[in-house]
Amino acid sequence: MTSRPLNFVKMHGAANDYVYVDCFAEEAPADPAALAPRIADRHRGVGGDGLVLVMPSTKATARMRMFNADGSESEMCGNGVRCVAHLVVSRGRAAAGSVTIETGRGVLTLDVTPTGDRTSRVKVDMGEPLLEAAEIPVAVAGGRVIDAACPALGGEAPWWSACGLDPRMTCVSMGNPHVVFFCRDVARVPLESIGPQIETHPLFPRRVNVHFVQVESRSHVVMRTWERGSGITMACGTGASAVCVAGAVSGRTDRRIAADLPGGRLDLEWAESGHVFMTGPAEEVFVGTWWGGR
């Protein structure tokens, strides 16, 4: 480890916050997986849900690499990619409007509308969801996992009735795996204990992001999330996209919804083209210098 400083930008999308390193201007950290848990530590580091590197790309305007707070690398982050698009526009590396970002999910197209010196509203084409069990992946026989029994929940517990849980799961991949449950009252789900239990269950070979959803109307839901590798987060963009799809395929919601997360609202649409579009904010919080080694 070296004491060579590392400049960063702290940003969030609907309070899903990450430490961003602009690798157009900074040398990329040699071991970002090792750096992520240290720099994301909310007591001894900068604090955040993880680390995002904004890098040059031969395929797009920029490339995003995203590391969770435990150091694991994730394919995509919907809130994170909005902030990446804001950063490349705000730093003059691309013009406002259409921007492309290379991710582990592939190249995504975003539309960036600056709303201030340090803020933008960004619409993301999240691509098409994957619904087949083998593609998500979920270790079950058959094709789509819609309102299916979920062994990862274990036996019935008192909290099921307390929150009005429907114990059936619907699974979706938005380039990363998601499992969605519906209930009457998301505030009464013991997410801090049930989230890690489901995330690491053998039913999900690559672990899974866990979402509990309260349907307010066919166009409005409230949701809470346990993110794979990061724990409880204020928002999850790929998760909100998965919830939009899960609500539609299970017949609970329309294909266009507003999703209220603890960190704010995201607008989702599963278009007739098959692509999911997510719109939400991107905001810079502060810039700084990390002296804890790369």
Q: Domain residue spans in the chain?
A: 6-126+280-290, 151-274
Closest CA to 75 of 204, 195, 238, 218: 238
Task: Assign a CATH topology to domain 151-274.
Answer: Diaminopimelate Epimerase; Chain A, domain 1 (3.10.310)
Cβ within 8 Å of residue 121, ≥6 positions away? 113, 115, 279, 280, 281, 282
In whole angstroms, what is the distance from residue 118 CA to residue 99 CA? Answer: 17
Helix (H) or strand (E) holding 78: helix 78-90
Using a 10 angstrom Cβ sphere, with 0-12 exposed, 13-18 middle and 19 or more buried, the burial of residue 31 is exposed
Q: How far apart are CA 69 and CA 71, in angstroms?
A: 5
Identify the active-site residue in 77, 83, 183, 244.
77
Percent of the chain scored above 90 by pLDDT? 95
CA dist 49 and 201 (Å) reads 22
CA–CA distance, 235 with 83 (Å, rounded to integer):
13
How confident is the model at residue 1, as a pLDDT? 43
Q: What mean pLDDT value characterizes the chain?
A: 96
Angle at CA 175, nearest 5°, toward 171 and 179?
20
pTM above 0.95, yes or no: no
In tens, the pLDDT along 215-252 reads: 999 999 999 999 999 999 999 999 999 999 999 999 99
Catalytic residue among 83, 171, 183, 236: 236
CATH topology of 6-126+280-290 equal to that of 151-274? Answer: yes
Return the H-helix or E-strand segment holding 122.
strand 119-125
- Under 8 Å CB-to-CB from 153, ≥6 apart: which residues? 167, 194, 198
Active site annotation includes 171: no
* Span 45-50, average pLDDT: 96
Q: Given this model, what pLDDT does residue 5 score?
A: 93
Q: Nearest 5 degrees, angle CA 54-CA 59-CA 64?
A: 20
C-alpha 167/C-alpha 237 separation (Å) is 23
Check: CB of residue 215 under 8 Å from CB of residue 244. Answer: no
pLDDT one-digit tens code per residue, 48-70: 999 999 999 999 999 999 999 99
- Give the residue carrying structure tokens 């509308």: 113
pLDDT at residue 142, rounded to an integer = 86
* Secondary structure (3-state) at 233: strand
- Backbone phi, psi, residue 90, to 5°: -65, -25
Q: Is the pLDDT of residue 3 over 70?
A: no
CA nearest neighbour of 261 among 12, 10, 73, 11: 12
Please check whether residue 99 is in contact with residue 89, taking contact to mean a CB–CB distance below 8 angstroms.
Answer: yes
Nearest CA among 89, 142, 82, 70 for reference residue 266: 82
Residues 80 and 83: their CA atoms lie apart, in Å, by: 5
CATH says 6-126+280-290 is which class? alpha beta
Based on the residue annotation, tell me whether 236 is a catalytic residue of this protein: yes
Percent of the chain residues topping a pLDDT of 70: 99
pLDDT of residue 40: 97
Q: What are phi and psi of 120, to 5 degrees?
A: -145, 160
pLDDT of residue 238: 95
The whole-angstrom distance between residue 93's C-alpha and the CA centroid of its chain comes to 24
Residue 166 — pLDDT band, cuts 50, 70, 90?
very high
